[in-house]
Every structure is written in structure tokens, then in C-alpha cells.
Structure 1
Amino acid sequence: MTVPTWITLSRLLGVPLLLYGLHEPTPEARWFCVAIFLIAAGTDWLDGYLARKLNQVTDLGKFLDPLVDKLLVLAPLLSLIELGQVPAWGVFLILGRELAIAGWRVNPAMTGGTITGANIWGKLKTVSQILAIALLIAPLPAIWSTPSLIAFWVAVGLTWVSGAIYLWPQQSQSVS
């Protein structure tokens, strides 16, 4: 296994820490969770950079990276539902898109047997999700409630836009 793949797998360590810290969060626990989340999210950039720089891009890495990203994003979002900060149906929209794209990516009939990496819209989606989740986890003053929710809904919108853009050229290729 390559160094970038190990870094991808290390990102999983943040998931139980986030779930534990957000179970009954104090302001200190929330700041700890923001730090853990941002460090874990930062490794997403690092593993991709190293994979390209060291010429270690692998199908395993292309498969694991988005899967781990989904777990890292969905874990705090599920906690935020429980805390009453985001509506479940908004998180369901993100989950539905993520499952659809994951299923599409691993289906050889749809992809021609190759696993494709994320496009620029997928990267924008990921950045918007990271920003929204960090804002929602942080114990910010009440004046930040509306901007945090706006960031969440922007992330939901970009999640769907990136999914549609990802599927559209794939759909036309599989029909031909």
C-alpha cells in the first residue's frame, strides 16, 4: 500500500473522535472537533498531492479517497441532525447523491471498468461541505447561525450540481 493510501486511511481515525466529541458537546469539545475535522479534511489534499507528486495514483486510492471523504462528512452531519442544527432531509440529499455517485463509480457497466477521480465540481463540493461543517460544529455566537446554515445549503446545492455534472457525460457515453 502506498503512502498516500495510508494517509487516506488515517483520515478514518477522525470519524470516531468526531462522533464522540459531538455526542454531548461542550464548547471545548466542539473546538476540538473542529480541529480534528479540519486536520482530517486537510489530509484529503495531502494524499492527493502526494499521489500525483510521487506517481502513486492507484485504483485503490481513487476508490478509498471518496469513500473516506463521505464517512468524514456524513459522521458530523448525522451528529448535527441529532443536535438539531441541520434538517435531516438536507443531509439525506447529500447522502443520496453520495451513494448514487459511489454506486455509479464502482459499476463497470457505467464506467467502462475504470474508476474516475473527482472533477473540479467534486472538489468544490468537498470544499463547501468542509466549510459548512466546520462552521456548524464550531461554538460560534448566535449571529453565525444564519451564515452557517447558508453555507450548509450551498454545500447541498453544490453536492447535487457536482453529481449531475459527473453523471451527465457518463450517461451519454454509456448510451452510445
Structure 2
Amino acid sequence: MHTQISAEQYGCWPEERCVGIEIVDGMVVVSPSASKRHNRLARLLANALDAAAGPDWNADTDFDVRLQDVPLTNRRPDVIVYRAETIDLTPTRPEHVLLVVEVVSPGSETTDRIVKVDQYAKAGIPFYWRVEQAATGVPIVYMHLRIARPRHARLDQTPAPAPAPAPPTIRRSHPHPISCNT
């Protein structure tokens, strides 16, 4: 029988144990090593987004984003654009993140095309880019915008706080036009 991992248990693990895995509903999901093409594409996207983001945002690759504490769900997107001021905060939370990018690989198609779109949107991450590696060699980027969830409050509770102000637009024209508007 498998046992769920708690946020506290995961927090005690050394970083090298956390590489190459995600935690979904408290269960460890092992990810195979990505191909060189996959890693290169993720790095090129991260570099372009980082250059376009300005001083308030960073773009990096391959670290945990904590989508929920109970049951623990940590995803490790290929590229993450996040608030620069949170660089030393662990774990990175959805409210720190503007955009996540997943490069689809053989074996991750259903998870990247269906499951993660929903998980990232429900967690409140505004933008999700899914990058398909086309046979022509030119990647195809699908952009998903989070659909705002209605805020609910019971009559005997304080209403949910207002959403944070919208993050700035990210634009880059070289080497390829990139624009990420809210």
C-alpha cells in the first residue's frame, strides 16, 4: 500500500531526492529524464522570457511550485516566470507565479495537455503555455489563460480578499515576438 507524503515530510527531504519527481495528491510521480531537445527548448524559452520580463520578474527552469499543501501537490514546470522578490522563498506558491510552461514529451502528452491545464488554473496561475515539439522542428505554443473562478463566502464568514493587482505585460521582439498580457 502506498502512503501519502505530507508537506512537512517533503520539506525534510534533501534537494537531490526531489529532482525528477512531482508530488500529486501526496503521491510521488517519477518523471523520466528529458531529452536534450526538450531541455534546450525549455532553456531558450526561459532565457527569452527572462530577458523580456524586466526587473520585477524572473524566468527559470525546473523547480517546485507548490499548488496545494493537503493533499500535497508540487509540480515542476519546465519554465516558470515568477516574482523576482520571491527568489529565496521556498516553496514557490501560485501567487508568486505569472506563467508556467510545459514542453510536451513522449509520455507526458495527457498530463501536459489536460491535467496540468486544470491544476494550474485552479491554483490561480494566470498563464499556461504548452509547447508541442512539431515534426517540422518549429515548436507550436498553445497559450491557456486562467478563467477566473467565482469567489464564494458563507454568510457567517468574512468574504474572500480581493485579487492582487494584475502583473505587468511581458514583451520581447527579438529573437521572436513574445507578449504575455493579463
TM-score by length of 2: 0.24
* Between structures 1 and 2, the one with greater helix share: 1
* Between structures 1 and 2, the one with greater strand share: 2
Greater RCO, CA 8 A, separation 6+: 1
